[in-house]
Amino acid sequence: MEKTGKRDLRGNKEGRVDKVRDRKSIERLPVMGIEVTEVRIFPFDTSGIGGNVRAVANVKLNDVLEIKDIKIVYSNNGYFIQMPLKKGRSGEFIPLVNLLSRDLYLHIRRKILDEFNRVMGKYDEKACDSL
């Protein structure tokens, strides 16, 4: 049986890569007038002790609101962000920030992960330079 249609190096159909690029570029756009204006990444690795947290991020929205202690977590499906939590009296974790708009969550996640990739790329370059 012969396969039809163009495929990329991973065997995916050619249009799929374009859809992913479009989705990422859409996620970078402001949502409801709210935009991430600053992202600060504080990398650290907890994999040595069995953890999955790779960094913590602080985010400013429109230079008027700051959300601190957003965790960047690695899982089998890739990286995701976890909004700050506090431990309640009964031991359960209570979210400190609830994003009610999925589009806003995706915008914040995309900005954080873009900056995380940029920062981690600098660390990789420094490690290669020291060898």
CATH of the domain at 124: 3.30.1120.40
**Long-range own/partner contacts, residues 24-27 (CB < 8 A, 24 or more apart):** 24/110, 27/106, 27/107, 27/109, 27/110
Q: What total of structural domains would you count in the chain?
A: 1
Mean pLDDT of the chain: 82
Residue 94, domain member (yes or no): yes
What pLDDT does 11 receive? Answer: 46
Residue 73, domain member (yes or no): yes
Q: Is the dihedral of CA 5, 8, 11, 16 positive or negative?
A: negative
Beta-carbon contacts of residue 116 (< 8 Å; ≥ 6 apart) = 41, 43, 54, 55, 57, 72, 79
Gap between the terminal Cα atoms of the chain? 49
- The C-alpha atoms of residue 17 and residue 50 are separated, in whole angstroms, by 33
Residue 15, domain member (yes or no): no
- The C-alpha atoms of residue 105 and residue 24 are separated, in whole angstroms, by 13
Residue 98, domain member (yes or no): yes
For residue 78, what are the domain limits?
Answer: 30-130
Residue 6, domain member (yes or no): no
What pLDDT does 9 receive? Answer: 41
pTM for the predicted model, two decimal places = 0.74
What pLDDT does 68 receive? Answer: 96
